[in-house]
Structure 1
């Protein structure tokens, strides 16, 4: 099961989807700050992949916003993600690591999945392969490019409510 989940959650940026995008070649991320995404702060829950999802975002502090994500299927933790969005050199970077339900990491010890900022557009913040959208003060969407075992990719919508 873990190999399937890893393959399933590998990010494939070769396909452009409706709500996600990539940074064009030979361009740099635009200026942005954590205030552009501070609305993510809070405890969020939803449903995806046949289970219950929970995502918790802390407030901007120390140049980052930290988060945790948990997927529970059939009353058992399927996996966790831990990460942050950091302000680095006047822009934002989204970074994360995956863990099995027993907290054994998916990535190598020092490996971190990192996604560059593409643009900030009103209530949407675009990173490579991920888009964060404020629907209202009590609802957000996260769009993610998810890789399939066959090498294809699809965009998945995570809808969360406070």
Structure 2
């Protein structure tokens, strides 16, 4: 019996070695799969680069950086994790040299509040901060909206799927 088990395992690994160890993405992350890939822009202010992993298990990860005159200006590191069946966007900011903006255990947390076909919105419950991602073909548009003291500020980032 033991020999039969190992023979079956060898057969599975031979046919698709990663299938035996891969994890299917949590259903809460499936609507976010359109983010996956490397996205770039080259605006006057500096080159922007964003990367999103494929959803795997109960998370996906991403990074963002701005490079100006050959030097990194700042970085963002993200994780989208499933908590209580819902996707939660978690972000930390860093200056060049990986000097963190937030305290060690602090982070920006946004909940998935709207999800459509290649259009998602993460936001704080009080509406003070939101991040919308919209994809059309090879273009990914992210809009960061902040409300403070009754004033609203929006920054829009237009990125294109990298061929590299």
Aligning the two structures, in what range does the TM-score lie when normalised by the shorter sequence? Answer: 0.7 to 0.9
Matched, 1:89 2:84: yes
Root mean square deviation of aligned Cα: 2.0
TM-score by length of structure 1 reads: 0.73
Partner of 1:134: 135
For residues 54-65 of structure 1, the aligned pairs below 5 Å read 54-65=49-60
In structure 1, how many angstroms separate the alpha carbons of the residues matched to 2:152 and 2:34? 28
TM-score by length of structure 2 reads: 0.72
Indicate if the aligned counterparts of 1:47 and 1:158 stay in contact, CA closer than 8 A: no
Is there any run of 5+ residues in structure 2 with no aligned partner, and where?
1-26, 124-129
SS at match of 1:126: strand
SS at match of 2:99: coil
Count of equivalent residues? 129
Give structure 1 regions of 4+ aligned residues with deviation exceeding 3 angstroms.
150-153
- 1:86: Cα distance to partner? 1.4
Indicate if the aligned counterparts of 1:132 and 1:141 stay in contact, CA closer than 8 A: yes
Computing the radius of gyration from Cα coordinates, the structure with the larger value is 2
Change (3 A) 1:50 1:146: farther
In structure 1, how many angstroms separate the alpha carbons of the residues matched to 2:43 and 2:69? 12
Q: Which has the higher helix share?
A: 2
Indicate if the aligned counterparts of 2:31 and 2:116 stay in contact, CA closer than 8 A: no
Bigger RCO (CA 8 Å, 6+ sep):
1
